[in-house]
Amino acid sequence: MDVPIRQRKGKNKGEVCKQEACGRPANSLGWCTAHYLRNRRGQPMNTPIRVTRREIGPCSWPGCSRPLRTDELCRLHYGRKLNGVDMDAPVRKRAKPNSRNGLDRVVNKDGYVEIRRPGHFGKGLAGKNVWFLEHRYEMEIHLGRPLHDGENVHHKNGDKTDNSLANLELWISSQPSGQRVVDLVEWAYAIRELYRDDRDKL
């Protein structure tokens, strides 16, 4: 069977393998890739080269250009034939791993809602897709500032998907380094100054 040989772009200028009766494009030292490797490894040069399915041709189903796999069909159409599925059904495109599929609001594996908000407080500019936890985003919008280190947003009713402002309250995890009165007083003054502008919103 005469098999059409695909020629690699940019690696061959029309030369043919110097091995007798080969006919494949020459890639290295005048040999095709298969004969070059055989010469390099000291293997017999005149044994037949196994023809790959891609070189034989595409799937025999009309309009399909996928490479052959089994029974003159590609993997997709062979599987459809085997399972009795419509051979001309549209092909579903698989989503890329970790893809959000163009959505702007999703529930992550921990049950929290994430939203895409490029440019939120200067984050994710230049068209980057930056995702934020919705409950933290809502609190930052309400306060008009990014959350400080040690601040957490708590769901009052325990529902992680209920991110209405009435269900959210700001918690803080910071604490004084010791339990002496002086330490507690200094910590209390620091907290008071930190939240001076937020008193009406809290």
pLDDT above 90 as % of the chain? 1
Distance of CA 186 to the CA centre of its chain: 48
pLDDT, residue 10, reads: 45
Residue 114's SS3 state is strand
Residue 6 has pLDDT above 50, yes or no: no
Residue 199 has pLDDT above 60, yes or no: yes
Residue 191 has pLDDT above 50, yes or no: yes
pLDDT, residue 176, reads: 62
The CA-atom distances, in angstroms, between 123 and each of 27, 119, 146, 149 are 50, 5, 11, 17
Residue 114 has pLDDT above 60, yes or no: yes
Within 10 angstroms of residue 30's Cβ, the number of other Cβ atoms is: 13
Residue 97 has pLDDT above 50, yes or no: no
pLDDT above 70 as % of the chain? 75
**Is the distance from CB of 68 to CB of 53 less than 8 angstroms?**
yes
Looking at every residue in the chain, the average pLDDT score rounds to 76
